[in-house]
Amino acid sequence: MKAKYLWLVLITPAFFGCEDNTGELGLGMLPKSDEITVIKKTFSVITGDSLSGAVFAKTNVGYVGRFTDHEYGFGSYEGGFLTELNCVDDLTFPKAYDAVTNRDPSNNMIGTVDESFELARIVLSYYNFFGDSLNPMRVSIYELDKKNLEKTHYTNTDPDDYTTKTKLLGRKTFSAVDLADSLRHQTNYLYQVSIPIDDELGLRIMKENQANPDAFKNSETFGKFFKGLYITSDIGEGTVLYIQHVQLDVVFKSFQLDSVGDILKKTTGEDSTYLAYRSFASTMEVVQSNRILISDEIKEKVKEENHTYLKSPAGIYTRAILPVGEIVNGIDFNKDTINSVKLVFNAYHHDTESEYSISPPATVLLIREKEVKDFFNGNMIPNNTTSYYANYASNSYSFTNIMRLATTLAKELEEAKKTSGAAWNEEKEKEWLNENALAVIPITLGTQTSSSGSTTITNVRHDLKPAYVKLKGGNPEKGGSALELQVIYSRFHE
């Protein structure tokens, strides 16, 4: 390796995040031919808004509730979800007690499936919610009775494709927070709503288990017997629950047996009994689909051109066009080495007039617009080459070094020019830049922490929580302002 290239390898990391005054770093001691000049240039980035429409809705969180945004004018939001339920492999219910044929003393849970059946319930569990904690809301739960959920689903999933809504299993009116629960102030407190449902479903499940145990071999076979649930809020306004877990409990009465298998008797002479249950829950192994309805007011917001918005769920994303042609023309890729490319999306001050104001999205994804669908459908994670993420901090989203993305686009633009040859013109370049625009999209990150303390991203999902932020940018000809793309590159002295 020539000496000058060795110096470049050693010195390049020092320039990431540099300011205008980089200093000479002792390079004056090098021969003139080995000196490196560090240059910073800024390029203008034009941004705009686009409606996301329905988005890929794979998530382990169910959003249920309704609210209307009176503060920012984005209209109304209504959420409900459909979910399958997981079945433990080879799940069984205890056989009915019989004093002659089934009184095994080793089995302490001998149940009945006749008039002794007590209760069935569905429990909704959640850590967080949006809106008024005391607002009364009603949740209704229907059985899916048409077909099983499809594996790929979007936020415009139509519940009518899966349920006739004739099998109402149960409904309940409640508020997001139970003030009577003294434990609610504890860390990681789990809110729960228990909804009594029609006993007929519990009896149907128990009898099927005894008549056809193969239906309970696993989640797939169970799904053919019981297709799932549709959970929706039909009364109440101003609250959205973020449901982490749905559990169907089939509760049954069991006789308490003594050591020889006889039913223990109370002092009154009555049989001694207790309640037991089997559970079927929503998990990552089964399909869950959120249904999100957004009103048409959002279509008016996207027309504003002197700034841009990020609005979730299934709302508005910011679209950015990098000046790739200007970068190619301004930097000689045969002589120059790009060290750092920085792009910052600054937000306007987030005024809040209401106690229940919408917060900015916590995390966003920067990715080529044309790759969005494949990214989410393929369960990909940011690769720091063509996709990056940034957290909301100091009133902005900062992508501190998108060098690989910028150089990838530059190479592709040069290749497009060569392919077109003499047919290439300004209009074709404008069209190419538009086709390779970037999208800034609200997301949630799934993470896993190892025993050593390192954190790994396990999944990336569209953010389906209510969130909003107004960003600086937009069309400079309509009162907006261009963003700055800061490029730092180095060049050997000639």
Rounded mean pLDDT, 360-366 = 97
If DSSP states are collapsed to H, E and C, what string results for 26-95?
CHHHCCHHHCEEEEEEEEEEEEEEEECCCCECCCCCEEEEEEEECCCCCEEEEEEEEECCECCCCCCCCC
Q: Which of 445, 463, 464 has its CA nearest to residue 455?
A: 445
| pLDDT score of 330 more than 70 | yes
| pLDDT at residue 321 greater than cutoff 80 | yes
One-letter identity of residue 89: D
pLDDT tens readout for residues 192-214: 999 998 888 988 998 899 899 99
Q: What is the mean pLDDT of the chain?
A: 86
141-191 confidence digits (pLDDT tens): 999 999 999 888 899 999 999 999 999 999 999 999 876 665 666 677 799
Q: Which of 29-38, 219-228, 245-254, 448-457 has the highest mean pLDDT?
A: 219-228
Residue 208 burial (C-beta neighbours within 10 Å; 0-12, 13-18, 19+) = middle
Q: pTM to 2 decimals?
A: 0.84
Tell me, what's the pLDDT at 111?
Answer: 59
Cα 306 to chain centroid, rounded: 29
Average pLDDT over residues 343-369: 86
Cα distance between residue 360 and residue 349, in whole Å: 11
Q: What is the pLDDT of residue 364?
A: 98
pLDDT at 225 exceeding the cut of 70: yes
The amino acid that residue 390 corresponds to is: A
Q: Which tens digits make up the pLDDT trace of 382-438?
A: 999 999 999 999 999 999 999 999 999 999 999 999 999 999 999 999 999 999 999
Amino acid at 137: M
The pLDDT > 90 percentage for the chain reads 63
Q: Could you read off the pLDDT of 40-77 as tens digits, one per residue?
A: 999 999 999 999 999 998 888 999 999 998 888 899 99
User: How far apart, in Å, are the Cα atoms of 381 and each of 152, 342, 375, 437?
Assistant: 18, 21, 8, 19
Are the C-beta atoms of 386 and 365 separated by less than 8 Å?
no
Q: For residues 433 and 264, what is the distance between their CA atoms, to the nearest angstrom?
A: 80
Q: What is the mean pLDDT of residues 472-476?
A: 96
Report the percentage of the chain scoring pLDDT > 70: 86
CA dist list (Å): 134 to 180, 238, 481:
12, 10, 42
Q: pLDDT value at position 70? A: 82
CA 172 to chain centre: 27
Residues in the chain: 494
Whole-number Å distance between alpha carbons of 214 and 317: 47
Q: Which residue has the higher pLDDT, 90 or 284?
A: 90
Q: For residues 51 and 220, what is the distance between their CA atoms, to the nearest angstrom?
A: 36
Which ranges of 263-323 would DSSP assign to H, the alpha helix?
A: 297-301
Residue 23: pLDDT band with limits 50, 70, 90: very low
Using alpha carbons, select from 338, 344, 345, 322 the residue that is nearest to residue 44. Answer: 322
458 CB neighbour count, 10 Å cutoff: 11
Q: How far apart are CA 108 and CA 210, in angstroms?
A: 18
| Residue 273 β-bridge partners | 255
Measured CA to CA, the distance from residue 469 to residue 429 in angstroms comes to 31
